[in-house]
Structure 1
Amino acid sequence: MATTSNCPKEPSNADIVTYLKRIDDRICLMDKQFEAIDKFEKKVERVNCDLKKIWAYLHDIDRKTSERLRLIEVKTESVDFALAQASSKISSLENQRVELKNDLNYLQSQSMRNNLVSTNIPEAPTENPDTTEIKLGELMIAKMKITQDLVSQMSFERVHRMGSKVDVKIVTLSRNLLCI
């Protein structure tokens, strides 16, 4: 016969109920954990969706920035070209200005070579160019000791005073002096 001492003892109903209650508690705990995992997955999906939106936005910004940078580079090259042209034109204009200044100085010196400037000749309040020319002739006779005949033969193109009316003036003569 078989002995019952070697056989495992069968659990009682209370043991089974306790065991089932523990299994039920574990299943409830697992359900809560699955719910938490589901919530976490939904959060991860939302974050992933947000990250995709952010990535798309950043990609769009990068594309727009690259396009703007390309346009800026094109404009910069255009400005550099225009600046080089302007610099060349400025240099050319500066050279022309120097040439014109030299020409003007030459023309002034050529026009002034026939000028005679006298100073400290008193001026009458109602003096006109004819009177000024007579006074100049008198000065040439009195101070320069030129004879009356030579002074009478001289022909002046223009005789005028410079500056505003004062007691002492500078007389400038633009002349074609004809001494015969």
Structure 2
Amino acid sequence: MAENSAEPTNRDIMILLQNVSGRLEVMEKKMGAIESIEKRMGALEKDINKLRCRTLKLWVAIDERVQKVDQRVTRLEDKVDGADIHAAQLSERMQELEKERDTLRDNVSYLQSQTMRNNLIFTGVVEDNTTGNEQPEITERKLRQHLQDAFKIARDVVDSIKFERVHRSPGSPTPGKVRNIVAKFTFFKERELVRKLWKQLDGSVYRVFEQFPQEVIEKRRKLVPQMKEARRLGKRAYLAYDTLYINGTAVRA
């Protein structure tokens, strides 16, 4: 403005207008920047909304998947619980069947042993195989002679003993080996008469045994060491069928 006049000059007005114009330009630039920021914020909001939608959909999908998995796990747990119950029932049934099997085996062994009740097995009696298998009548004749010679039984007693069958152990004759003689006595008391004379065979190559089913033989074999040890300790021990008795106490294999 002029120093000596109250009225602005054109120059003052131009300067003022320039100042205003400069300030407007600055304002316009700021407004442009704000618009740019608003646009960017709008785009960002759209992206955020899209992400929110996608996240929501993803959470819904995950939730559905989790629910399906939970349902499947529940079904599997039910099946496992059912399987455990079934397995327990099967295990119990298996134990019952095993007991029944063992009982049946014992019964079969007992019935077999009853059929062998009157049998004795004689070892070491020379076998004649010059004409093939030794004939039963020859085997019986040899056995009767063996009872006189080895068991020291009188001839008339030997002649009175009755046999249902006398034969060699099953199998083909083998050179250099002697098959045992299996004798089925008609009367049990006569079998016992012969069996109780087993001590007469001490010091000889001959032996006499009761005949038992294979299952009973296996049990007796397992019990023999215990019987020998008990006798070594001075205890009264003996085998009866498939049971060991030590001082009156039964011991089973």
**Fold shared per TM-score above 0.5:** yes
Question: Residue 171 of structure 1 aligns with which residue?
Answer: 181
Q: Which amino acid aligns with 1:66?
A: D
User: What residue is the counterpart of 1:102 in the other structure?
Assistant: 106
TM-score by length of 1: 0.82
Aligned counterpart, 1:54: 58
Q: Kindly indicate which of the two structures has a greater share of residues assigned to helix.
A: 1
Higher relative contact order (CA 8 A, sep 6+): 1
Looking at structure 2, the residues matched to 153 and 77 of structure 1 have their Cα atoms a distance apart, in angstroms, of: 73
Aligned partner of 2:229 in structure 1 is: none
Separation in structure 2 between the aligned mates of residue 129 and residue 45 of structure 1, nearest angstrom = 108
RMSD: 2.6
* Structure 1 residue 111, shift from structure 2 partner: 2.8
- When the two structures are aligned, how many residues end up with a matched partner? 174
Structure 2: which 5+ residue stretches go unaligned?
1-5, 191-253
Superposed counterparts of 1:134-149, under 5 Å: 134-149=141-156
Whole-angstrom CA distance in 2 between matches of 1:31 and 1:143: 132
Shift of 1:147: 4.4
1:66 paired to 2:70: yes
Tell me by how many angstroms 1:150 deviates: 4.0
Instruction: Name whichever of 22-31 and 157-166 sits farther off.
Output: 157-166
Offset from partner CA, 1:24-72 (integer Å, 9 cap, x none): 1011101110111012112201211221121012111111111111111
**SS in structure 1 at match of 2:163:** coil
Partner Cα distance (2:70, 2:137) in 1: 82
- Which of 79, 82, 89 in structure 1 is aligned with 2:86? 82
Equivalent of residue 162 in structure 2, options 149, 155, 159: 155
Query: What CA deviation, in whole Å up to 9, does each residue of 1:117-156 have, x standing for no partner?
Result: 2110111222132321222122223333444444444332
SS of residue paired to 1:157: strand
AA aligned to 2:139 is T
Whole-Å Cα distance in 1 between the matches of residues 165 and 50 of structure 2?
100
39-48 vs 154-163, which deviates more?
A: 154-163
Look up the match of 2:202. Answer: none
Deviation track 1:54-96 (CA, whole Å, cap 9, x = no partner) reads 1012111111111111111210121122112112202212321
Mapping of 1:21-60 within 5 angstroms?
A: 21-60=25-64
Identity of aligned residues (%): 27
Could you tell me which of 117, 121, 144 is aligned with 1:117? 121
1:18 Cα offset (Å) = 0.9
Larger Rg: 1
The equivalent of 2:95 in structure 1 is 91
User: Which residue type is aligned with residue 89 of structure 2?
Assistant: Q
